Structure 1
Amino acid sequence: MKNSITQALRLVVADNYALIGQTHVCHWNVRGPSFFSLHTAFEEQYNEMFVAVDDIAERLRAIGSLAPGGLSNLANLAEIKEISEDASASEMVQHLIKAHEKLLKDLKAARDCARDADDSETEDLMIARIQVHEKTVWMLKSYLEV
């Protein structure tokens, strides 16, 4: 069971870093009438995720595993696609919704592995992260509503 939790958490870390990077690209390159609101929202999102990924990596260490690191290693582990630098604001939001939904899938898988292994600390951490990303998806989807 520990191995399945470790693998699930390693994917969460990698996809979380990929999402941080994608959110940063959107923050830097967003243009148009929604620039100020999206620029600020994206910054808040990547800052929050940067702090949170530390907790997840430290959880890996607490259960006796190593946390993944290094850009090429994280990129090889991650399953989140990259966005074009010249994407429109709407395309950026749609892309980030998909990326958050992918990370949610990872988080739920890690939560389930932790539950099955009776690792309530990891399960609680994953539940807390699920709540954050579900709220972010809701907010991003609300931006797209007309």
Structure 2
Amino acid sequence: MSHATGDNTRYAVEFITVRRSTNMAIDIGINEEDRKSIVDGLSRLLSDTYVLYLKTHNFHWNVTGPMFRTLHLMFEEQYNELALAVDLIAERIRALGFPAPGAYSVYARLSSIKEEEGVPGAEDMIRQLVAGQEAVTRTARGIFPLLDKVSDEPTADLLTQRMQVHEKTAWMLRSLLDER
């Protein structure tokens, strides 16, 4: 799902515009309009990351079957890592001078990852988490053109690190389904 069109972008801009965090000028070499655009992208990334965190935690609680122990422990590692990532992304949003979104309703609007009801089987859990990891990677990758344009190296560094984690995690999950 593209974030460049539709209600997601408009909602992020409205949320950020209304809720500016400080009256003190921020002079980091990136103008306010560009910082707001970066924050819009980071807000979508935060939303994707949080929805993936919740999905992973849900699967940790509800996984069953012959791979129970392996998946239960793996999912726990993954949701703990995602919890740390949520904090890093939110803190970067704050450093850019805007409040980080923190409501489930905002995450649901901005996330490209769909919440699914019910409890899938273990293999479907793995497939959904691979798709979620890849979605977060695509969201992060989509922010880079603006970061390059305005020379926002700190955000680019954060996104590079996040993409490495998500690509590696997707590979590890896919490996569980490889029957060769």
Q: Confirm or deny that 1:17 pairs with 2:58.
A: no
Structure 1 segments, 4+ long, off by >4 Å, are none
Say which SS state the counterpart of residue 65 (structure 2) adopts: coil
- Map of 1:109 onto structure 2: 142
- Map of 2:157 onto structure 1: 124
Which structure: larger Rg?
A: 2
The answer to whether the Cα contact below 8 Å between 1:111 and 1:127 also exists between their aligned partners in 2 is no
The answer to whether the Cα contact below 8 Å between 1:83 and 1:95 also exists between their aligned partners in 2 is no
Q: Deviations over 1:32-51 (max 9, x none)?
A: 00000000000100101101
Structure 1 distance, partners of 2:145, 2:171, is 23
Q: Greater CA deviation, 54-63 or 83-92?
A: 83-92
Say which SS state the counterpart of residue 79 (structure 1) adopts: coil
- Map of 1:7 onto structure 2: 40
Say which SS state the counterpart of residue 114 (structure 2) adopts: coil
- Map of 1:34 onto structure 2: 67
**The one of 105, 112, 116 aligned to 1:83:** 116
Q: Tell me the TM-score normalized by structure 1.
A: 0.95
- How high is the sequence identity, in percent, across the aligned residues? 43
Shift of 1:86: 2.1
Structure 2 distance, partners of 1:111, 1:37, is 35
Shift of 1:63: 1.0
Structure 1 distance, partners of 2:145, 2:137, is 12
- Map of 1:56 onto structure 2: 89
The answer to whether the Cα contact below 8 Å between 1:13 and 1:56 also exists between their aligned partners in 2 is yes
The answer to whether the Cα contact below 8 Å between 1:100 and 1:133 also exists between their aligned partners in 2 is yes
Q: Aligned AA for 1:60?
A: I
Structure 1 distance, partners of 2:116, 2:67, is 18
Q: Any stretches of 5+ residues in structure 1 without a counterpart?
A: none
Q: Any stretches of 5+ residues in structure 2 without a counterpart?
A: 1-33
**The one of 70, 77, 81 aligned to 1:44:** 77
- Map of 2:171 onto structure 1: 138
Q: CA RMSD in A?
A: 1.1
Aligned residues: 146
